[in-house]
Amino acid sequence: MLIENLQIGRIVMHEIFRRGEDRQKVTPTYGTELERLSEMALAQFRARITDALSAQSKSMEMRIVREGQGSVVEAAGNLLASTDEEFLDRSKVIADLLADAQMARSYPGGMVLVFDGTFGAPENPFLGIIKAETQSGFRRSKNAEAVITEFLENIFLTPATRLFKVGFLVHPDAPQEDESWRAFVFDSNITASHREGAAQYFYEAFLGCTFPENGKYETVKFFDLTREFVRQAQISPEAKRDLGDALYTFVKTEQSPTFTSQEFSESYLPVELRDPFARFLEAKQFPNRAVVRDTSDMGARLRRRRFKFGTDIELTASPQAIQDRTAVIEEGPATDFGGEGDEMWTRITIRRPMTDQT
């Protein structure tokens, strides 16, 4: 998600705690006044939010499935429509809802920052929620007499992104109408091999969100658009085949539940093609965010690869046969393969006997 012209309004800070041995909820410690940050602190706060939500591989728009009474969405609408005094009081509901969602003792406590503001042009109102775990560290400073090393406890919102999560609820029109809310979530675990665990209690049990259902369409669209881009690229036939192999591997065999076009670009495309690829996808309106990997509609397209030679010859093979070189396709001048002249020929070597023909 692209965050521009981010303006922070009110900030309240609460603290929630890990459940006790009896697994009962520990009552949060609630903030007693709105936070007043210095200009430097506010700039760093904006930077943390912008960097987190702009991290393609770790943030994504999610589908809201719970927005009625007692939900975070309901609380967000109430908060955006509140006075400063009401904001301070009503934000306690957010801390309570997050403490309720942390059912397992393995979920750590931490600071809960509830804040509002606007972003974009025209301005869109939002409610932001950060769950930040605390840590300890050292600070080196110097005074007139000596260099001092201080041990600091309960530090939070450091650059270590794995130590905080962000929920960003946006309502572009009227905050009191639930149906138009959009939810964006940042969590360093959101693209882990399993969706369960730390991320799930935050985006599902707390925020009332789930992964979007358009993964099938977007996975197919990414596959087709990338093939089109590679087909048009001014690179050698061998490089095109290598990128075709990489695309099959990336879409079919990678295990993370989400992916981004940037991940494919940085892993497989040569540097000079990365910007053109990004512009190509933008022109085709492919989303610049993480999407759910879902190949269930692709069927045989991922089980077989088809190669065409002119207008009357075709070869099909499994991606695995190409990858392990059971079938080898080589292109070059005719002279490389025992012919004459510079006309491009293709040599196919199949390390198997022919078992059938039609």
Query: Does an H or E element contain 295, and which?
Result: none
How far is the C-alpha of 219 from the C-alpha of 221, rounded, in Å? 5
Round to whole Å and give the CA distance between 340 and 295: 45
DSSP assigned state of 5: S
User: Are the C-beta atoms of 163 and 133 separated by less than 8 Å?
Assistant: yes
CB within 8 Å of 108: residues ≥ 6 apart: 18, 133
Return the number of other C-beta atoms located less than 10 Å from residue 13's C-beta: 21
CA distance 301 to 252: 10
Contacts for 315 with CB less than 8 Å, ≥ 6 apart: 306, 307, 309, 327, 329, 348
Q: Convert the pLDDT of each residue in 234-267 to its tens digit.
A: 998 888 888 988 898 888 877 788 889 999 999 9
**Distance of CA 226 to CAs 218, 245, 272, 290, Å?**
12, 12, 16, 16
SS3 content of the chain, % helix, strand, coil (to 5): 35, 25, 40
Helix (H) or strand (E) holding 79: helix 72-80
pLDDT (tens place) for every residue of the chain, 358 residues total: 667 889 999 999 999 999 988 889 999 999 999 999 889 989 998 988 888 887 665 778 888 999 889 999 999 999 999 999 999 999 999 999 999 999 988 888 999 999 999 998 788 899 999 998 876 565 667 766 666 656 555 665 666 656 789 999 998 654 444 457 899 998 876 643 334 444 688 999 999 998 776 788 889 899 999 999 999 999 988 888 889 888 988 888 777 888 899 999 999 999 999 999 999 999 988 888 888 888 887 766 666 667 778 778 877 776 667 677 888 888 888 888 888 888 888 888 888 887 766 6
Q: What is the pLDDT of residue 159?
A: 64
Query: Would you say how long the chain is, in residues?
Result: 358
Distance CA 309, CA 311 (A): 6
Q: What residue type is assigned to position 6 of the chain?
A: L
- Please, are residues 347 and 237 in contact by the beta-carbon 8 Å criterion? no
The residues near 289 (Cβ < 8 Å, ≥ 6 apart) are: 1, 56, 59, 60, 61, 260
Q: What is the pLDDT at residue 178?
A: 44
Residue type, 251: V
The token duo for 203 is: 């985006």
C-alpha–C-alpha distance, residues 175 and 78, integer Å: 8
Residue type, 2: L
pLDDT digits (tens, 9 = 90+) for 1-24: 667 889 999 999 999 999 988 889
